[in-house]
Amino acid sequence: MELRKRYCWTFGILFAGILAGLIAVSILLARKTGEELDRAKLTTARHGPFTLHTRATLSPASSESAPIYRLPTTVQPRHYELFLQIHLPYDEDDTLPDALTTRGSHVNITLRTTAQGVRNITFHARHEVKENSVSGYIKQFDKDAVSLLEFTGNGTVDGVFKIVSVDFLKVDIVVVHLDRALLPDRDYKLRIQFEGVIGQNMQGLYRSQFVKDGKTRYLVTSQFEPIMARMAFPCFDEPGIRSRFSTTLKYPNRFTMIRTNGQAEGEAITDGLWLIQKYTTTPAMPVYLNAFLVSDFELTSVDAQDPSEEIYPFNVIARKEFIDRGDAAYALQQGKVMMEFLSREFNQSYIEHLPKLDMAAVPDFNVGAMENWGLILYREARLLYRPKVSTAEQKSGVAGIIAHELAHMLFGNVVTCSWWSNIWLNEGFATYLMYMLMGQANPSWNTKYLFSYWVIHDAFQHDSYLSTHPLYDPRVENNTLIDNSFDPIAYAKGASVIHMLKGVLGEIGFNRVLKEYIRANKLGSVEHGDFLREVEIVALEMGFPAGTMSRYLRSWIEESGYPVLMLDRGSGTDPSEITYTQQIFRYPTLQDNDSINNSTVEPTLWDIPLTLTNGAPGAPLEQETAKHGCFLSKAAGSLRSECESEVLDYPTLPASDERIDNFIIANVQQYGFYRVNYDRHNWNRIIMALPVFLDYPTVTPSSVLKNNVIRGQLIDDSFNLARAGFLSYEVPLKLIHNYFTLETHHGPLASARDNFRHLYVMLEGTVHHDLFVEYMRKLMEGGLYTNSRWSNSWTDADVPSHGDSEGSFNRVMANNIIINLSCYFEVAACVTSAVTRFRRWRESGIGFGPDTRTNNDIQTKEHMLCYGVRHGPVENWHYLRGLYDHPEATTSDQRTILRALACTKYEELVERVLAMVLDGKSVRPQDQSAAFAALGRWVGRRTWDFLRSGWSKLTGSTSTIMADLSRYVKTERHLAQIQQLYVDVGGKDGSDSTAFEKAIEQAQVNVAWMAAHADEVGGILKTLTIGEPTPLLL
Ligand SMILES: [Zn+2]
């Protein structure tokens, strides 16, 4: 164990009158000690536009009389023997019935009670179904289909219960009433014969389809998380209830690839045209981890090694044609490396639980992938990688999702959240660990910056609204909220807070926490307190005062939102005069006026781990709070002097020194989940230093500004601080203006692109729009596109083969952003290149087959298609539309084509794309949201109108579509339309109330932004001249 430096914990006296219960709504007043209070008020008055409006401004139209969602805890299942008969047609030429069923199925559930006098058994089955629904469900059964046997201690039958009645209650609850009470601590076997209807909407047990040799082929597969196992068989469908599952499947004998969690056990038994196959028993697991696949797919396999050195088969399963042409090879290679590393790193055996691990690609899948234990299911486009076709972005996407799902084998499967309110314990850890596993399998990728851009910035975006929620969300009780709990907060913020803990404890301490957490909770169900307990043990050993670390973390887990830390060096000569204030960060709405002085609600504050660096040569880039930093405690307000003596243990100039590198940067490389704002002098030095330090072709002089995570952080923080009213737009715009043509890294480019996109959308239709487009075009022309630092724009120069080195991976990714931005803003050379390339591609006849030309052609295909359609002859669109229907077009190709078709500038073709999305045949429901997002890039408001009229026809994820399109709503009139749609549609079925609530707030934020910032941005753009670095007006 490493000895730590002196700590600086100071615990001030808590302010009187803190009402802990009032944090659900929060305001933006920094709470400070003593003399800082006035300063905080001043700061707030200048920046602080927020007050409160209550969480729900609208409520759904109907309210049921509080139905029961949770099962009683008196009866615990231990083991299921599931017999599932899948009625697919015997002959593939047979016409498919309207609905496939599981007629002839049954389940035996061994259960126990610990309570006295229990006379009924309550469990889940989806028995209600809406008219015209294509969801799966279980037909109601009568009491003759149910039996209950009692067993003695030695396993012999000791009695048969009389079933008095079976009640089917609302929200999937079934109650079996018995003639007498169960006895504690005896085994009972509940047997239910049932018939299910197999769904068609990617939920529960469902059918999927694809076309081969001109014929439609069908398969049956499943998606159970969070609460859809109950659509397939009667069960105790809660994540905290673990049981073992012994499954037997009966299916038509023409199917060859039948998989479930366990391994086939013995030979299949023939029963006429049917086969009956038994599978090995699973470990004790939540019911949602069951999975099924009845198909004629093919398998490719590799041996994986357990820490015990035992070998088990690691398989990838997909359509035969994909396996044959090698599309699964990459997934197989990546998966093996990652799984072996994960097991070794945590010293956890996999085959202790299951004898094989499958990853299967299915044509229709509601989410990207699902971590079913032993049978991970993926959307085809997310698992398959086709050499000479797929791009670096797709490659890293495949590696990332495999890493995420494999991480779940421990975080999610071996240890599971006990209820959905803590789903971040599954998803946040899997998201965090996916970067570690990706890095192991692809050492050259530098996954650290990917984490910063893909995860932290994304989490910030979603956590900046009043409608956000805490990581631990105690509201999650009903089925709608359970569905909605799988959101970017659980994934991205969960991972970001875990990342912050790593920054605090350092790698060694942090790894010990994770290992102990898995070991201590193996095959168990956890709440966040179980995790904090392990954190506390390690932190105590490291010398942190007892109870502090878990208490600090709680504020990040149990409160919503995040802070912005304001650092002000003032004009003093002593660096210890830096002052710190914190406020909650939130995008304001028009209702957020003038409440600062009137509010009686205590503000939300956090214990912030502070790290600092500065512009001096050799200033540190890595800081562990355990060694170099300390917390700005919310209890004590500011700990400035103690903190700085810990943190700033390297040369720091007085703030008044005008040297260009005399700046400070806090939250070094974004380990903490907070944004940072500075006084204008400090911002000015940063934005004037950036072009100076980046213009050196070699590594000297060293500067923290050469770190791409820090540059991405400065861009994302400054744009969003301006967006929320904490900072003038002069800062981000001049920051970009001064240095952007020197940027060569994918991370900062991507951060800038996303923030440009926001400005573009906001300014569209205003008097400032042309000015913005013109400015962006010149910015791209003035350096990035035509004179890129690696002498490679979208001309004929090739880019290196991706994935071979960090440089090549970055170049491919960065090049794509530059091309996309340049063509979007119509840089002439880019547009010409796109049109020429489209023509060459079309003439080559390559279509979506392997491209043997240059790597540049492969990597930039998406932009060639999009801008070739937009700026080329109209025939380009029709050519691409023809390829969409080509029998060999894969689901991945179709998605790419759809996105490109949306790039057209012809109104009637836009209409045709919109119609394709809603005709129920052309576009798989899983791709609807991607199509709308693609259209939104070009015709956001138009798409919104169309969507509104076609809402009832949508079968894909309406919440994703809603979230995407509300970004384009920025007028009072369109805002009123969303609110009306909510009343008309959302309120009625209640299923998307959270999505509507978010969309409405997003639109309100946009309306407020227009009033506050449109003219401001326009005014600043007018003052900028390309090629001339410009300081802030001080
Ligand atoms: Zn996950």
Give me the mean pLDDT over the 876-880 stretch. Answer: 97
Query: What is the predicted pLDDT for the residue at 163?
Result: 97
Per-residue pLDDT band at 612 (split at 50, 70, 90): confident
Q: Which residues of 292-324 are buried (b: 16+ CB within 10 A; e: fewer)?
A: bbbbbbbbbeeebbbbeeeebebbbbbbeebbe
Query: What is the predicted pLDDT for the residue at 97?
Result: 86
d(CA 524, CA 518): 9
Cα 968 to ligand 1 centroid, rounded to whole Å: 29
Cα 179 to ligand 1 centroid, rounded to whole Å: 43
Estimate to the nearest angstrom the gap between the alpha carbon of 813 and the chain centroid: 20
d(CA 336, CA 349): 14
Q: Is 435 buried (19+), middle (13-18) or exposed (0-12) by CB count in 10 A?
A: buried
Query: Is a pLDDT exceeding 50 seen at residue 404?
Result: yes
Query: What CATH number matches the domain at 18-40+71-384, 3.40.50.150, 3.40.190.10, 2.60.40.1730, 2.60.40.10?
Result: 2.60.40.1730
Question: Looking at the DSSP assignment, which residues form a beta bridge with residue 191?
Answer: 108, 147
Is 408 marked within a binding site? yes
Tens-digit pLDDT profile for residues 883-939: 999 887 888 888 899 999 999 999 899 889 988 887 878 888 777 777 777 777 776
For the entire predicted model, the pTM comes to 0.89
d(CA 89, CA 102): 12
* 1001: annotated active-site residue: no
**DSSP SS3 for 1005:** helix
d(CA 224, CA 659): 60
Query: Which range is most confident: 291-295, 476-480, 563-567, 824-828?
Result: 291-295
Q: Kindly list the strands in the beta sheet with 118-124, ordered across the sheet, starting from the edge strand earlier in the chain.
A: 118-124, 173-182, 163-168
Sign of CA dihedral 807, 809, 814, 816: positive
d(CA 526, CA 412): 10
Per-residue pLDDT band at 523 (split at 50, 70, 90): very high
Tens-digit pLDDT profile for residues 729-749: 999 999 999 999 889 899 999
Question: What are the residues whose beta carbons fall under 8 Å from the beta carbon of 227, sequence distance 6 or more?
Answer: 124, 172, 237, 288, 479, 482, 483
Query: What is the predicted pLDDT for the residue at 604?
Result: 78
Query: Is a pLDDT exceeding 80 seen at residue 27?
Result: no
Identity of residue 964 = D
Higher pLDDT, 804 or 127: 127
Instruction: Using alpha carbons, select from 521, 599, 466 the residue that is nearest to residue 1008.
Output: 466
Question: What are the residues whose beta carbons fall under 8 Å from the beta carbon of 476, sequence distance 6 or more?
Answer: 419, 420, 421, 423, 482, 485
Query: Is a pLDDT exceeding 90 seen at residue 314?
Result: yes
Q: Which helix (H) or strand (E) holds 137?
A: strand 137-138
Query: Which range is most confident: 427-436, 627-636, 695-704, 976-985?
Result: 427-436
Residues 91 and 47: beta-carbon distance below 8 Å? no
Cα 12 to ligand 1 centroid, rounded to whole Å: 40
Tens-digit pLDDT profile for residues 673-683: 999 999 999 99
Say which residue the tokens 């802030």 belong to. 1032
Residue 274 backbone dihedrals phi, psi, to 5 degrees: -110, 155
Query: What is the predicted pLDDT for the residue at 7?
Result: 24
d(CA 999, CA 741): 35
Tens-digit pLDDT profile for residues 180-197: 999 998 999 999 999 999
Query: What is the predicted pLDDT for the residue at 932?
Result: 76
Query: What is the predicted pLDDT for the residue at 449?
Result: 78
Residue 996 backbone dihedrals phi, psi, to 5 degrees: -65, -45
In this structure, of 339-348, 482-491, 556-565, the range with the lowest mean pLDDT score is 482-491
Query: Is a pLDDT exceeding 50 seen at residue 31?
Result: no
Question: What are the residues whose beta carbons fall under 8 Å from the beta carbon of 862, sequence distance 6 or more?
Answer: 391, 816, 896, 899, 900
Query: Is a pLDDT exceeding 50 seen at residue 5?
Result: no
Cα 232 to ligand 1 centroid, rounded to whole Å: 22
Query: What is the predicted pLDDT for the residue at 700?
Result: 58
In this structure, of 272-286, 304-318, 646-660, the range with the lowest mean pLDDT score is 646-660
Residue 827 backbone dihedrals phi, psi, to 5 degrees: -65, 125
Question: What are the residues whose beta carbons fall under 8 Å from the beta carbon of 290, sequence distance 6 or more?
Answer: 222, 224, 229, 232, 245, 247, 260, 261, 282, 372
Is 878 marked within a binding site? no
Cα 426 to ligand 1 centroid, rounded to whole Å: 7
**713-to-456, 513, 680 alpha-carbon distances in Å:** 10, 28, 17
Give me the mean pLDDT over the 199-223 stretch. Answer: 93
Query: What is the predicted pLDDT for the residue at 18?
Result: 24
d(CA 32, CA 39): 9
In this structure, of 383-387, 867-871, 969-973, the range with the lowest mean pLDDT score is 969-973
Cα 558 to ligand 1 centroid, rounded to whole Å: 21
Is 404 marked within a binding site? yes
d(CA 711, CA 774): 25
Tens-digit pLDDT profile for residues 350-390: 999 999 999 999 999 988 999 999 999 999 989 999 988 88
Query: Is a pLDDT exceeding 50 seen at residue 245?
Result: yes
Cα 365 to ligand 1 centroid, rounded to whole Å: 14
Tens-digit pLDDT profile for residues 616-661: 887 877 766 555 557 776 654 444 445 555 555 556 677 778 888 8
Tell me what the pLDDT averaged over the chain comes to.
Answer: 85
Query: Is a pLDDT exceeding 50 seen at residue 594?
Result: no
Cα 841 to ligand 1 centroid, rounded to whole Å: 38
Identity of residue 458 = D
In the chain, where the domains are located:
18-40+71-384, 425-561
Instruction: Using alpha carbons, select from 681, 677, 648, 676 the residue that is nearest to residue 662.
Output: 681
Task: State the DSSP code for 101.
Answer: B
Higher pLDDT, 619 or 54: 619
Query: Is a pLDDT exceeding 50 seen at residue 177?
Result: yes
Give me the mean pLDDT over the 113-142 stretch. Answer: 93
Instruction: Using alpha carbons, select from 203, 174, 204, 199 the residue that is nearest to residue 109.
Output: 174
Query: Which range is most confident: 58-62, 591-595, 895-899?
Result: 895-899
Per-residue pLDDT band at 24 (split at 50, 70, 90): very low
- Dmax over CA atoms of the chain, in Å, equals 91
d(CA 955, CA 203): 12
Which residue among the candidates 225, 238, 405, 997 is catalytic per the annotation?
405
Say which residue the tokens 């407020």 belong to. 1008
> What is the CATH superfamily name and number for domain 425-561?
Neutral Protease Domain 2 (1.10.390.10)
CB atoms within 10 A of CB 750: 22
Query: What is the predicted pLDDT for the residue at 4?
Result: 27
Q: Is 767 buried (19+), middle (13-18) or exposed (0-12) by CB count in 10 A?
A: exposed
Cα 671 to ligand 1 centroid, rounded to whole Å: 22
Per-residue pLDDT band at 596 (split at 50, 70, 90): very low
Query: What is the predicted pLDDT for the residue at 416?
Result: 98
Cα 412 to ligand 1 centroid, rounded to whole Å: 8
In this structure, of 352-356, 473-477, 703-707, 963-967, the range with the lowest mean pLDDT score is 963-967
Say which residue the tokens 């990597």 belong to. 859
Cα 495 to ligand 1 centroid, rounded to whole Å: 11
Residues 978 and 945: beta-carbon distance below 8 Å? no
Sign of CA dihedral 608, 484, 891, 324: positive
Query: What is the predicted pLDDT for the residue at 646?
Result: 54
CB atoms within 10 A of CB 1033: 11
Per-residue pLDDT band at 575 (split at 50, 70, 90): low
